[in-house]
Structure 1
Amino acid sequence: MATMLTVRLDAELERDLELLCEKSGQSRSDFVRHALRRQIRQAEFAALRSELMPYAEAQGWVTDEDVFRDVS
């Protein structure tokens, strides 16, 4: 079952949302759902990365290039 969420937007954010929805052909609800999913995934990734960084650093992996060098 879907849940309804009410969110207050200031005038500028509402205008930006309307313009993006018009350009993309998406409804406001679809656009916000997509943005929320993306934000949740980014937050999950950041948390996982923070958790794993000590292990990576112990292997000498400090940058993405370090990982690519050893994995490739």
Structure 2
Amino acid sequence: KQIFDAQTGSAQPHIYPKHIGNLLIPNISEDSIKNFNITITPIFKKIFQNKNENNKLKAIKNSLLIKYFN
């Protein structure tokens, strides 16, 4: 919210490093960071797997289209 509120410009809001330089960063415990990483790691692994699968399917689609139209 603080970053969003720091945006300037009316046509296309943007933010500069000086706007976020003074933001306070909460002190997060090492356990909280570890728990967060444990939670999100499987999600990012699944995203990576899905991207790879999409690329394979796209290649198969393109190959089939070429064979169909030739």
Pairwise TM-score range, normalised by the shorter structure: 0.3 to 0.5
Q: Normalising to structure 2: TM-score of the pair?
A: 0.39
Which fold has the larger relative contact order, with Cα–Cα distance below 8 Å and residues 6 or more apart in sequence? 2
Q: Computing the radius of gyration over CA atoms, which structure comes out larger, 1 or 2?
A: 2
Q: Normalising to structure 1: TM-score of the pair?
A: 0.38
